[in-house]
Structure 1
Amino acid sequence: MTGPFLPASRNWADLSGPSLVAATSGRSIAVVPIGAIEHHGPHLPLRTDALVAEAVASAAVERVSASGIEAWLLPTIQYAKSDEHHWAPGTLWIEGTTLLDQLIELGRSVAMTPVRTVAFVNGHGGNVMLLGWANRELRRRFGLRSFSMPAGAGIPGDGEEGRPDERGQGIHAGFGETSIVMHLAPHLVAPEMPPRNVPEKIAGMTHIGFNRKPVMFGWTSEDFGPTGVIGDATGANPADGRLIFERGVDFVSEALTEIDGFEFG
């Protein structure tokens, strides 16, 4: 009797059940891209966050696997906590508690295989705090090593070399996201960019704001105007998008390498 067939693909879902058990071990890392299907202004596709997370995670898995790390790419989670865009037609969102249950049940399923590590690669800011919660649940309930990370560290619109100055507030459908989609899927980007929509008053505050400012606040994207854009997509270009993508792949690859050797204590 021959052993299970092992395809060359690093995609979890491409294997049969017996093949997965044969191919994985306690050192394997289940890499889960997670994004969203949500309004991204009039110029970007609804699947922007899922597109970026999957592209970055897939490239990183391919890279680290070539170096000997046992990484496997799971199907992308696309429906997520996007209630900040609840008002915009096309957004497909679920409650945070529903997503948390899904992540826990996913971990329970992974725990039935030899795999003991899960790493979420996240393309949507609305998922961040929930993923932190899920990490601890997966550790406590199933003994998994669990991690979450952004799909990359984007290039900010800093006002240099033709980039718009987003004053640190370009968080949604602005320069960075528009540039990376121009690189990954230019056919999905509308030719006309929406007008600049940077929350200038918030940008001038010391403690309240986005991008690591310490005081958080409740908001929905319509609080900043009718386009759903928070940032400045003017000046976005595929060349900068390629740099953002490559930076994201570098970051996630380095993170997965650290995860491979991670130990408590």
Structure 2
Amino acid sequence: MSTRKLAELPGPDVAARFGPDTIIVQPTGAVEHHGPHLPLVTDFLLADHIGGAAVERAADEGLDVWQLPTLAFTKSDEHSWAPGTVWLDADTMFDTVVQIGRAVALMGAGTLVFANGHGGNTALLQVALREIRRRTGLKTFLMPTLARVPGPDGEDADERGLGIHGGAAETSMILHLRPDLVDLARADRWVPDHIADFERIAFNGGPVSFGWLSNDFGTPGVVGDASRASAEYGKLLWDVSLDQAVASLHEIARFDPAVPR
């Protein structure tokens, strides 16, 4: 049987095949508002496609790695104001992933990796890594599915460090994966320039973070410049993101926090 999808295995095969070197990948996406030009399923597609392709390639390269079904409904309450968003509260999401960790440990696997396609899950999953580790002994990891890649017109040419949701990168990636779901005629530049010049308060990497909802910025729930998107940029993002995910799985496979004897 060539499948790397865990849920397609017969139950007895799990017990027979899995051991301490087995890596289980749990993709985490979302079903949430992505503006007028992208589908609600955007983050699910990123997690499912990149996570699944990374598992397949890593398995072909010799890793004992398997994929759980992608989580569609996750912590998306920053978009709860927008019709179509389906979200779990923090407690429910946290309990869900911890219980998944318990199940993975009972399968006999040694490692659980969350391949995350939705930024709103990141902080919660980071806390869950330690909780699952403490409760089960599993090695636990979190990796992104979408890489940060300079666009064809240069690094962050028009998004000013604010291209975090529905902007050039996500729109380009969905143009590559599912162009039938993208309406570029409805894409625009939705960058909240009025917050871009703060030196310490930032979305990514700044020393001061802040709580936000996606309708805080005077945009239609998008933060970024979707008008810069292209299928060519999407293909570049796909190639780099997949390479990054596979390389991460190889490093995860040989990682041991203990001091070598």
Q: TM (normalized to structure 1)?
A: 0.94
**Which stretches of structure 1, 4 residues or longer, exceed 3 Å deviation after superposition?**
156-161
My pick for the range that moved more, 28-37 or 149-158, is 149-158
Pairwise CA distance, 1:191: 3.5
Q: 1:132 aligns with which of 126, 130, 139?
A: 126
The aligned runs of 1:1-265 (5 Å cut-off) are: 7-156=1-150, 159-160=153-154, 165-265=158-258
My pick for the range that moved more, 164-173 or 190-199, is 190-199
Contact 1:170 1:198 in 2 (8 A): yes
Q: TM (normalized to structure 2)?
A: 0.95
Pairwise CA distance, 1:113: 1.1
**Helix, strand or coil: the match of 2:194?**
helix
**Helix, strand or coil: the match of 2:25?**
strand
**Helix, strand or coil: the match of 1:118?**
strand
Pairwise CA distance, 1:264: 1.3
Pairwise CA distance, 1:159: 4.5
Using the aligned pairs only, state the percent identity. 47
For 1:84 and 1:157, how far apart are their aligned partners in 2?
A: 27
- Residues 182-226 of structure 1 show CA distances to partners (whole Å, capped at 9, x for unaligned) of 000001111413321111122111110112112111110101125
Pairwise CA distance, 1:116: 1.4
For 2:43 and 2:104, how far apart are their aligned partners in 1?
A: 24
**Helix, strand or coil: the match of 1:210?**
coil
For 1:160 and 1:116, how far apart are their aligned partners in 2?
A: 41
For 2:51 and 2:19, how far apart are their aligned partners in 1?
A: 20
For 1:157 and 1:211, how far apart are their aligned partners in 2?
A: 18
Contact 1:159 1:165 in 2 (8 A): no
Computed over aligned residues only, the root mean square deviation of the Cα atoms, in angstroms, reads: 1.5
Contact 1:108 1:142 in 2 (8 A): yes
**Helix, strand or coil: the match of 1:248?**
helix
Contact 1:158 1:165 in 2 (8 A): no
In the alignment, what sits opposite 1:4? none
Contact 1:123 1:151 in 2 (8 A): yes
For 2:80 and 2:31, how far apart are their aligned partners in 1?
A: 11
**Helix, strand or coil: the match of 1:192?**
helix
For 2:14 and 2:186, how far apart are their aligned partners in 1?
A: 45
- Residues 13-69 of structure 1 show CA distances to partners (whole Å, capped at 9, x for unaligned) of 000110111122210100010011000000101010010011111111111111110
